[in-house]
Structure 1
Amino acid sequence: MPPFKEKTVLITGATGNLGKAVACAFDALGTRLVLVGSRFETLDAAYPSLKPHHLKLAADLTDKAAAARVVAEAGQTSGRIDAICAIAGGFHAGKPVHETAPADWDRIMEMNVSTMLNVVSPAIPGMIARKAGKIVTVGANSAAKGAANTGAYIASKSTVMRLTESMSAELRQYAINVNCVLPSTIDTPENRQAMPKADPARWVKPEDLAAVIVFLCSENAVAMHGALVPVVGLS
Structure 2
Amino acid sequence: MSRVVLITGATGGLGPSVVRAFVNQGDRVAFTDRSLEKAQQFMAQEGHSAEQVFPFAVDVTQPESIATWVEAVKAHWGRLDVLITLVGGFKAGTPVHQMTDQDWDQMLNLNARTVFLAARAVVPHLLEAGGGKIITVGAKAGFAAGKGASAYAASKAAVLRLTESLSLELRDHNINVNAVIPSTIDTPANREAMPDADHSKWVSPEDLASVMVFLASDAARAVHGALIPVYGRA
Normalised-by-shorter TM-score class: over 0.9
Quick check: 1:12 aligned with 2:8? yes
Q: Which residue of 1 aligns with 2:68?
A: 69
Give 1:85 shift: 0.7
- CA distance in 2 between partners of 1:98 and 1:175 (Å): 45
Q: Which residue of 2 aligns with 1:178?
A: 177
Is contact 2:43–2:49 with CA below 8 Å preserved after alignment?
no
Q: Which residue of 2 aligns with 1:52?
A: 50
Give 1:41 shift: 2.1
Give 1:156 shift: 0.2
1:51-76 Cα offsets, whole Å, 9 max, x none, are 12121111111011111101110111
- CA distance in 1 between partners of 2:59 and 2:126 (Å): 23
Quick check: 1:192 aligned with 2:191? yes
- CA distance in 2 between partners of 1:130 and 1:10 (Å): 15
Q: Which residue of 1 aligns with 2:168?
A: 169
Quick check: 1:202 aligned with 2:201? yes
Quick check: 1:127 aligned with 2:123? no
- CA distance in 2 between partners of 1:17 and 1:219 (Å): 27
Give 1:120 shift: 1.5
Give 5+ residue unaligned stretches, structure 2: none
Identity of aligned residues (%): 43
2:48 maps to a residue whose letter is L
- CA distance in 2 between partners of 1:67 and 1:98 (Å): 34
1:107-146 Cα offsets, whole Å, 9 max, x none, are 1111011111111111101111222110000000232112
Quick check: 1:33 aligned with 2:29? yes
The CA RMSD measured in Å over matched residues stands at 1.0
Matches within 5 A, 1:72-91: 72-91=71-90
Give 1:97 shift: 1.6
Give 1:103 shift: 1.2
Q: SS at the partner of 1:47?
A: helix
- CA distance in 1 between partners of 2:221 and 2:32 (Å): 25
Q: Which residue of 1 aligns with 2:110?
A: 111
Give 1:38 shift: 1.2
- CA distance in 2 between partners of 1:120 and 1:23 (Å): 19
Q: SS at the partner of 1:191?
A: helix
Give 1:225 shift: 0.5
Q: SS at the partner of 1:17?
A: coil
TM-score normalised per structure 1: 0.96
1:208 maps to a residue whose letter is D
Is contact 2:208–2:230 with CA below 8 Å preserved after alignment?
yes
Give 1:45 shift: 2.5
2:14 maps to a residue whose letter is L
- CA distance in 2 between partners of 1:173 and 1:38 (Å): 34
Q: SS at the partner of 1:84?
A: strand
- CA distance in 2 between partners of 1:19 and 1:80 (Å): 22
- CA distance in 1 between partners of 2:104 and 2:97 (Å): 11
Q: SS at the partner of 1:11?
A: strand
- CA distance in 1 between partners of 2:96 and 2:80 (Å): 39
Q: Which residue of 1 aligns with 2:148?
A: 149
Quick check: 1:24 aligned with 2:20? yes
- CA distance in 2 between partners of 1:126 and 1:34 (Å): 15
Give 1:173 shift: 0.7
Give 5+ residue unaligned stretches, structure 1: none
Q: SS at the partner of 2:91?
A: coil
